[in-house]
Amino acid sequence: MVYATSDGSAGKRLRVGMVGGGRNAFIGAVHRLAMRLDDQIALVAGALSSDPENAAASAAEIGIAPERSYADYHAMAKAEAARPDGIEAVVIVTPNHLHAPIATAFLEAGIDVICDKPLSTTLGDAEALVALAKAKKRRFVVTLNNTGYAMVRQAREMVMAGELGRIVSVHGAYIQDWLTKPIDAEGQKQAEWRTDPARAGQSAVLADIGVHAFNLASFISGREAEAVSADLFTAVPGRRLDDNAHVLVRWTDGARGTILASQTSPGHYNDLSVRIHGDKAGLEWSGGRPEELRFSPYGEETRTLVRGGHGSTAEARRVSRMPAAHPEGYIEAFANFYRDAADIIRAHRSGGTVDPARAAQVPDVVDGARGVKFVAAAVESNAAGGAWTAARFGG
Amino acid sequence: MVYATSDGSAGKRLRVGMVGGGRNAFIGAVHRLAMRLDDQIALVAGALSSDPENAAASAAEIGIAPERSYADYHAMAKAEAARPDGIEAVVIVTPNHLHAPIATAFLEAGIDVICDKPLSTTLGDAEALVALAKAKKRRFVVTLNNTGYAMVRQAREMVMAGELGRIVSVHGAYIQDWLTKPIDAEGQKQAEWRTDPARAGQSAVLADIGVHAFNLASFISGREAEAVSADLFTAVPGRRLDDNAHVLVRWTDGARGTILASQTSPGHYNDLSVRIHGDKAGLEWSGGRPEELRFSPYGEETRTLVRGGHGSTAEARRVSRMPAAHPEGYIEAFANFYRDAADIIRAHRSGGTVDPARAAQVPDVVDGARGVKFVAAAVESNAAGGAWTAARFGG
Amino acid sequence: MVYATSDGSAGKRLRVGMVGGGRNAFIGAVHRLAMRLDDQIALVAGALSSDPENAAASAAEIGIAPERSYADYHAMAKAEAARPDGIEAVVIVTPNHLHAPIATAFLEAGIDVICDKPLSTTLGDAEALVALAKAKKRRFVVTLNNTGYAMVRQAREMVMAGELGRIVSVHGAYIQDWLTKPIDAEGQKQAEWRTDPARAGQSAVLADIGVHAFNLASFISGREAEAVSADLFTAVPGRRLDDNAHVLVRWTDGARGTILASQTSPGHYNDLSVRIHGDKAGLEWSGGRPEELRFSPYGEETRTLVRGGHGSTAEARRVSRMPAAHPEGYIEAFANFYRDAADIIRAHRSGGTVDPARAAQVPDVVDGARGVKFVAAAVESNAAGGAWTAARFGG
Amino acid sequence: MVYATSDGSAGKRLRVGMVGGGRNAFIGAVHRLAMRLDDQIALVAGALSSDPENAAASAAEIGIAPERSYADYHAMAKAEAARPDGIEAVVIVTPNHLHAPIATAFLEAGIDVICDKPLSTTLGDAEALVALAKAKKRRFVVTLNNTGYAMVRQAREMVMAGELGRIVSVHGAYIQDWLTKPIDAEGQKQAEWRTDPARAGQSAVLADIGVHAFNLASFISGREAEAVSADLFTAVPGRRLDDNAHVLVRWTDGARGTILASQTSPGHYNDLSVRIHGDKAGLEWSGGRPEELRFSPYGEETRTLVRGGHGSTAEARRVSRMPAAHPEGYIEAFANFYRDAADIIRAHRSGGTVDPARAAQVPDVVDGARGVKFVAAAVESNAAGGAWTAARFGG
């Protein structure tokens, strides 16, 4: 066992800038932790807040030079594109409704994009971004970051290798409790924008967490959603958007399943899981125990596959830093994602490419658009009394 | 801690006969184990098989006197009704399609009924049985036996006491693996009749296990199904009936949820579970760890409530035989069910009654009919492309 | 899958009587549940209490005929031995110090013995009982009943089959919380006698639960204790005997390990476990999840072996009543024990014998004596400042 | 909930150098990951290998300037001490036997020390280092890094706050499988030096992992070892040192317990755990689920306390980066350790101090010496046939 310890990147770190992620924001700081772990990325510019004072102070705090702290993302795109040492990629960590305009601005400036999920709040925006990225020939990564877990990668490899046989059912769920009470109405900032149709989109719970469950189920199983039948509802009286979604899914190649998302379920802080059954075996992963896979070949007893353990696949070993049972977690998974994203963008910018199988593991703008299509289809089905609704992007 | 040790019934055991349950049958022997544990029931008559030779041999094996072993349930109903020491109740453990005619025969003969689930294979039969039991003033118990688990009883008590607050979501699932391969086509007896429309009814997976998940979710939550939207499918090519069901449910009083049933899911031998969330707390029970409840008051940490443990409710203590962590299991739960059923029938036959709160815990013919209605509604919804379909019995 | 449903014993049930187990006693009623499950045993006589009134009332409650309810075990042994339909075996469920005199009385009367653990409170008594049982040619079973669990039987089979390789370490533990507070000083009856040197013996915690952990570790591993080094202590000030024991063990054939016993450990109601490692694999069983074994071949991933599941051994299947994941528990394990005991005694009394491999699974007077020797050696080692002390009975 | 996202350290990063940790080493790269996560430390110098070529190449790979890469730690101590921008602390990640001489060299040069465990291979060296650090007034941190887990910190706080009451028992265990086979004899590098008396010390298993279990049990419980009674043994024939240790412990203030360490236990990759019982509650932590504490107040049901969850203590919140159930793991714990160490050393070097309660959480040279004393006492007890042996450092 040799582990990827990921230092030694001096001189070739990818130069990135960040839009969003100033003080009081949540996810921007998480991105920065993930970027830093493997020393592959240099964060050198930012438009960290729409409030100029906050933007400048936030930049100072995290060591961005004053002249590369911008009050406005348009200015940032323009200025950085003009610098010889300008950023190679932008990291977008704003509320949902800003993803599309910001990404557009940087793509237009010839800068690659690393954008948080959901890709956009409308299907039209998603389609436009797919087209623009293609036209501009830019890499566009969407941080559906749970795909970075080593055992999620292993699960995908096992499905692709046929270890489950013909896939029969694919279930994903993302269950939380933090919106059990009306904290959005009471002004909690994270809750407030995530339940605001103007900033979150048509569905709060699907945009915030449902797309993760959908993406992960799709990523591991290798299936896209063909059609959905959805029941979306709001548990907390007065909330402006849904906080629970129960979605039946018909996947490509004949599998069926469900995607459940809830933010009002006491007992589940942050419970993401995927369960897949084929005619040869079953496979389950849960974010609460991310270092394990439960693998059940039909006719044999269930095995607990451990990251770094005796049954590790090549990909799981590639993205492991520590031996078995020295737990890696959320940040490590996110860092795997960033390491791959950095390699893909660096290779692309220098006229090269990374191994296609490896590149395929990093969700891109099309994967992001698939998530947006899934949300749109679920909203439409719900409005139509649960009618089966086509859900395949580009399909 | 005082435990119900349940002996001391000499002289007052309920006299029962059994229809079905001969050699090579499965569930009849399980019923006998459950009856025997607490010594409240004497099995004194039977029509154990439709094959006369098997019926006689089976009766001899289990100590039923030859003159009370019958080749035919009609004969049994007539003869036992005429005896001064005749059976007080019949236990019906045949394939599904025979439940209704057999129950009818014994009700007509004035004998109380303990019938396996599902109550019947058609909604019409279920309605007729409800009416007949009422007309004949007979007790009619349906062995939705998972309601007998001590911690299931405790869960129901906690919901009724308001510990979860307003119920928001109710999920039930029953996941198995035993039909992953086409063993029905290969002649495995249990699989063969359970997937035969003539004997199992319109849905195999819902009749066999889905009704258990539905009943248990309803029992604990105190909610009935208002409407369902269902996706039923057959994973194994050539199978005559479905083997998987994904059902969205709208429950009474505004809760939503899902009922999932599968018999083709490697990794799950027999996995029954219920998960309920209210605006005050969440509560979860799994048949794989039946001695525990996972209880999560919002804003506090999850507690593992243990049967016989410090947080036991009165009902859970009443149906416990052993101290905490001396595991009770499936047979004990089934025996709890039988003990209550015996008390209810004895009380009724002697002109008395048991505590209504206790009686309400034992599923009766109406609960059985609710299960049949649920199956019928799911089948109808599935045929109608997932349209929401009314699912409340008598509603 | 064919399951042992264990009815059909009419006419050949073993006739037993019980000493101890009257109203207010705990373990006697548990024995009766276990006897009843498989219908192999008829309880027809008893000296249920040393208080004549209680004895008679208790007998009436459980259906023992008045003329076979005795106020005194000497009278019972004599009278039953004289009856043509007298008991074939006596079940002894009194406090520890009475085991030896009662067993002696019945052995002398030619009646086989089923005695609760510990066999006796002194090593001398244990040796005398071994000699007497041999001299009288009587079967003498000691209810070290945890050996009845199907997965414990499977674990033993796997060790014997060499699946673990050379055994390196063997650990057993039995951890409870019920004596955390001084309830013995406050008059709780079960606590009171169990911490009384006159009735419990030299060590409370080892006699009550430590012998179970020791016996189970020995049963599964096939090893006896060669020597022990012990630290016994009393957590609750004023308690008359120890309530915690930490014992290092050197097992036969070179394995090492520990036996831990505690009755003052909040968080553990009743936590019995065994962990064994060989140079080929590890194996673990816990009474909290008795239906599973954790099996870890070196160089492969851990498998969860399930009772009734795909990897069941012959013995585990023989003692299963229910399919996989229909949980069996403490009573079922105890009933397995009783079924085997009944078969052994019936065979012996009719001049026959059961399969020696099967008989070897039922702890007898020598196994009981091994437990007494273990306790005596631990007490001696503790008194000698932890010096290694020979612990092998007859060794 | 506000989370420490730990960026913003520009300009004040602690300057450190590393001795050991070149290519092919294991733990040095892990230290670097941990240093990097929170951006508090700049690694600017190194003597990464005793092989000059390897040292230079390793330094180049991780971005250490060539002029600050040394072939020899004596040269490094001297040169760095002379530079105005010289290192403030040295990180020692060599095999055990070199810890003492290297630490001595840097202390003499006025440089603070961060040293891997065990502090030294002899008690004399440990005593000398304690004295030298005191004489030189230098901070000396020993990377008993498991103390950095948020829930370990919370556990310690809970014990200190009296939530467990009077401590009765304290158990620690560290169980691995990686030395099950004779890989040391086959040349595996990590195994080879760890089982070599010349480099590992008197006990392999205690020096490598036993000290972690001991330190963690001591850290959480606030108890030191008074005396030990030990059984050390070698499971693998031909191995030069022990690979298993079973140690009885008498802790200060009257608690008792055990420390178990094994490297030949299939089924346990890396299983560190602590279990503590007081007369008010029990508390358990396991490295396999590091984000949880199992907390069991006597008379109430067990709660699962989750990092970042509703019951978090102040210290646990302080060292959390992510919300509940976004798993943090080994590297995050190690980074917590490094962040605290950096703060302590920076404060000390600038004439200040950190909060003493916080400083007390970071194991120092005395804690390191306690571990060495524990190992020495266990070795002595084992040699003396398990005799209780004084184990308190300075006691």
Q: How many CB atoms lie within 10 A of CB D383?
A: 13
Q: Evaluate whether residue D85 is within a structural domain.
A: yes
- Tens-place pLDDT, residues B158-211: 999 999 999 999 999 999 999 999 999 999 999 999 999 999 999 999 999 999
pLDDT above 90 coverage of chain A, percent: 95
State whether C156 and C136 are in the same domain.
Answer: no
Please tell me which residue of chain C has the smallest CA distance to B65.
C10
* Integer Cα distance of B360 and B220 in angstroms: 12
Q: How many domains does chain B have?
A: 2
* Integer Cα distance of D221 and D207 in angstroms: 21
Residues 289-328 of chain B with CB under 8 A from chain D are 295, 299-306, 309-311
State whether B136 and B153 are in the same domain.
Answer: no
Averaged pLDDT of chain A: 95
Q: Map tokens 């005395």 to a residue.
A: D366
CA distance C192 to chain A (A): 40
Torsional sign, CA B306, B309, B313, B317:
positive
Say how many Å lie between the first and final Cα of chain C, rounded.
43
Q: Between the CA of residue B244 and those of A302, B195, B239, D78, what are the distances in Å?
A: 21, 12, 12, 73
* Integer Cα distance of A117 and A372 in angstroms: 9
Q: Does the pLDDT value for residue A26 go beyond 90?
A: no
Would strands C167-176 and A89-92 be described as parallel, antiparallel, or unpaired?
Answer: unpaired
Contact C332, B332 (CB under 8 A): no
C141 phi-psi bin (left φ>0, alpha ψ -120 to 50, beta other): beta
Q: Which of D174, D244, D256, D273 to mutate to test the interface with C (most CBs of C within 10 A)?
A: D256
Chain C residues near residue A306 by CB distance under 8 angstroms: 301-302
Tell me whether D249 touches chain B (CB under 8 Å).
Answer: no
Q: Between the CA of residue B226 and those of A237, B248, C88, C258, D219, what are the distances in Å?
A: 21, 11, 60, 58, 56
Beta-carbon separation of A271 and D32 below 8 A? no
Query: What is the complex's ipTM, to 2 decimals?
Result: 0.95
Q: Between the CA of residue D65 and those of A10, C239, D45, D62, what are the distances in Å?
A: 11, 68, 7, 9
* Integer Cα distance of C294 and C300 in angstroms: 13
The type of residue at A141 is V
More confident residue, B311 or B45: B45
Residues 76-115 of chain C with CB under 8 A from chain A are none
Range of the domain at D39: 14-145
Chain A residues near residue D325 by CB distance under 8 angstroms: 268-271, 287-288
Q: What is the mean pLDDT of residues D248-253?
A: 98
The type of residue at B252 is T
Q: Between the CA of residue A51 and those of A74, A102, D293, what are the distances in Å?
A: 14, 16, 41
Tell me whether A1 touches chain C (CB under 8 Å).
Answer: no
Beta-carbon separation of B279 and A236 below 8 A? yes
* Integer Cα distance of A270 and A90 in angstroms: 28
Nearest to B258 among A246, A267, A386 (CB): A246
* Integer Cα distance of D201 and D97 in angstroms: 7
Closest CA to D313 of D353, D278, D251, D361: D361
- Given this model, what pLDDT does residue C26 score? 86
Beta-carbon separation of D5 and A289 below 8 A? no
Nearest to C8 among B10, B62, B328 (CB): B62
Q: Residues with Cβ < 8 Å from A339, sequence gap 6 or more?
A: A6, A38, A40, A319
Q: How far from the centroid of its chain's Cα atoms is residue C171's Cα?
A: 18
Cis status, amide bond into D84, omega within 30 of 0: no
Residues 197-236 of chain B with CB under 8 A from chain A are 229, 231, 233, 235-236
Contact A185, A239 (CB under 8 A): yes
State whether A206 and A285 are in the same domain.
Answer: yes
Q: Evaluate whether residue B333 is within a structural domain.
A: no
Please tell me which residue of chain C has the smallest CA distance to D243.
C168
Point out the domain boundary residue: A137, A156, A171: A137
Show the tokens assigned to D41: 């430390």
- Given this model, what pLDDT does residue A272 score? 98
Angle, CA C350 vertex, CA C345 and CA C356 arms, to 5°: 55
- Residues listed for chain D: 395
Chain C residues near residue B63 by CB distance under 8 angstroms: 7-11
Q: What is the mean pLDDT of residues D17-35?
A: 94
State whether C122 and C107 are in the same domain.
Answer: yes
State whether D186 and D265 are in the same domain.
Answer: yes
Please tell me which residue of chain D has the smallest CA distance to A289.
D289
Show the tokens assigned to C134: 């041999």
pLDDT band of A5, cuts 50, 70, 90: very low
Averaged pLDDT of chain D: 95
pLDDT band of D9, cuts 50, 70, 90: low
Cis status, amide bond into C290, omega within 30 of 0: no
* Integer Cα distance of D127 and D11 in angstroms: 36
CA distance A287 to chain C (A): 20
Residues 24-63 of chain C with CB under 8 A from chain B are 26, 29-30, 32-33, 36-37, 39, 61-63
Chain D residues near residue B309 by CB distance under 8 angstroms: 301
Contact A122, A281 (CB under 8 A): no
Q: Evaluate whether residue B35 is within a structural domain.
A: yes
Q: Evaluate whether residue C317 is within a structural domain.
A: yes
* Integer Cα distance of D365 and D367 in angstroms: 5
Would strands D281-286 and D292-297 be described as parallel, antiparallel, or unpaired?
Answer: antiparallel
* Integer Cα distance of A150 and C44 in angstroms: 64
Contact A156, A146 (CB under 8 A): no
* Integer Cα distance of B26 and D297 in angstroms: 44
Nearest to C309 among A301, A306, A309 (CB): A301
* Integer Cα distance of B30 and B16 in angstroms: 15
- Given this model, what pLDDT does residue A202 score? 94
Point out the domain boundary residue: C145, C180, C200: C145
- Given this model, what pLDDT does residue B24 score? 81
- Residues listed for chain C: 395
Beta-carbon separation of C260 and D256 below 8 A? no
Helical ranges in A137-179 per DSSP H: 150-160
Chain D residues near residue C277 by CB distance under 8 angstroms: 262, 264-267
Q: Evaluate whether residue D130 is within a structural domain.
A: yes
CA distance C35 to chain B (A): 9
Q: Which chains touch A (3 or more CB pairs under 8 A)?
A: B, C, D
Between A and B, how many residue pairs show a Cβ–Cβ distance under 8 A?
126
State whether B191 and B109 are in the same domain.
Answer: no
Tell me whether D66 touches chain C (CB under 8 Å).
Answer: no
Residue A251: burial class (beta carbons within 10 Å; 0-12, 13-18, 19+): buried
- According to DSSP, residue C84 is labeled T
Tell me whether C280 touches chain A (CB under 8 Å).
Answer: no
Q: Does the pLDDT value for residue B4 go beyond 70?
A: no
Closest CA to A216 of A151, A304, A307, A296: A151
CA distance A291 to chain D (A): 9
- Given this model, what pLDDT does residue D293 score? 98
- Given this model, what pLDDT does residue C2 score? 36
Q: Does the pLDDT value for residue B131 go beyond 90?
A: yes
State whether B124 and B160 are in the same domain.
Answer: no
- Given this model, what pLDDT does residue D25 score? 86
Q: Choose the weakest-confidence range: A137-146, A242-251, A293-302, D351-360.
A: D351-360
Show the tokens assigned to C12: 């050949």
Closest CA to A287 of A327, A326, A228, A247: A327
Beta-carbon separation of C235 and D296 below 8 A? no
B362 phi-psi bin (left φ>0, alpha ψ -120 to 50, beta other): beta
* Integer Cα distance of B39 and B9 in angstroms: 6
- Given this model, what pLDDT does residue A9 score? 52
Please tell me which residue of chain D has the smallest CA distance to C293.
D267
Residues of chain C with pLDDT under 70: 1-11
Torsional sign, CA C327, C333, C335, C336:
positive
Q: Residues with Cβ < 8 Å from D100, sequence gap 6 or more?
A: D119, D120, D121, D122, D125, D126, D128, D129
State whether D136 and D184 are in the same domain.
Answer: no
Residue B351: burial class (beta carbons within 10 Å; 0-12, 13-18, 19+): exposed
* CATH number of the domain within which A23 lies: 3.40.50.720
* Integer Cα distance of C87 and C33 in angstroms: 19
Chain B residues near residue D309 by CB distance under 8 angstroms: 301
Point out the domain boundary residue: A137, A172, A206: A137
Please tell me which residue of chain D has the smallest CA distance to A325.
D270
Between C and D, how many residue pairs show a Cβ–Cβ distance under 8 A?
126
Strands (DSSP E) found in D203-291 = 225-233, 244-251, 256-262, 270-278, 281-286
pLDDT band of B25, cuts 50, 70, 90: confident
Q: Which chains touch C (3 or more CB pairs under 8 A)?
A: A, B, D
More confident residue, B4 or D171: D171
State whether B43 and B103 are in the same domain.
Answer: yes
Show the tokens assigned to D267: 């089924």
State whether D42 and D107 are in the same domain.
Answer: yes
Strands (DSSP E) found in A236-280 = 244-251, 256-262, 270-278
- Given this model, what pLDDT does residue C11 score? 55
Residue D24: burial class (beta carbons within 10 Å; 0-12, 13-18, 19+): exposed
Chain D residues near residue A332 by CB distance under 8 angstroms: 329, 331
State whether C240 and C374 are in the same domain.
Answer: yes
Contact D106, D113 (CB under 8 A): yes
Q: Which of A178, A250, A256, A269 to mutate to test the interface with B (most CBs of B within 10 A)?
A: A256
- Residues listed for chain A: 395
CA distance A297 to chain B (A): 7
Q: What is the mean pLDDT of residues A78-94?
A: 98
- Tens-place pLDDT, residues A182-229: 999 999 999 999 999 999 999 999 999 999 999 999 999 999 999 999
Q: How many CB atoms lie within 10 A of CB A63?
A: 15
Closest CA to C68 of C50, C45, C87: C45
Chain D residues near residue B303 by CB distance under 8 angstroms: 300-304
Q: Evaluate whether residue D38 is within a structural domain.
A: yes
- Residues listed for chain B: 395
Show the tokens assigned to C77: 């042994």
Q: Does the pLDDT value for residue B117 go beyond 70?
A: yes
Using DSSP's 3-state secondary structure scheme, residue D329 falls into: coil
Closest CA to A5 of D331, D31, D29, D329: D29
* CATH number of the domain within which C159 lies: 3.30.360.10
* Integer Cα distance of B246 and A231 in angstroms: 13
Nearest to C37 among B9, B36, B62 (CB): B36
Q: Evaluate whether residue A355 is within a structural domain.
A: no
Q: Does the pLDDT value for residue A232 go beyond 90?
A: yes
Q: Evaluate whether residue D270 is within a structural domain.
A: yes
Beta-carbon separation of B267 and A244 below 8 A? no
Between A and D, how many residue pairs show a Cβ–Cβ distance under 8 A?
124
State whether D384 and D292 are in the same domain.
Answer: yes
* Integer Cα distance of C17 and C32 in angstroms: 11
Residues 368-387 of chain C with CB under 8 A from chain D are 385-387
pLDDT above 70 coverage of chain D, percent: 97
Contact C200, C194 (CB under 8 A): yes
Show the tokens assigned to A329: 């977690």
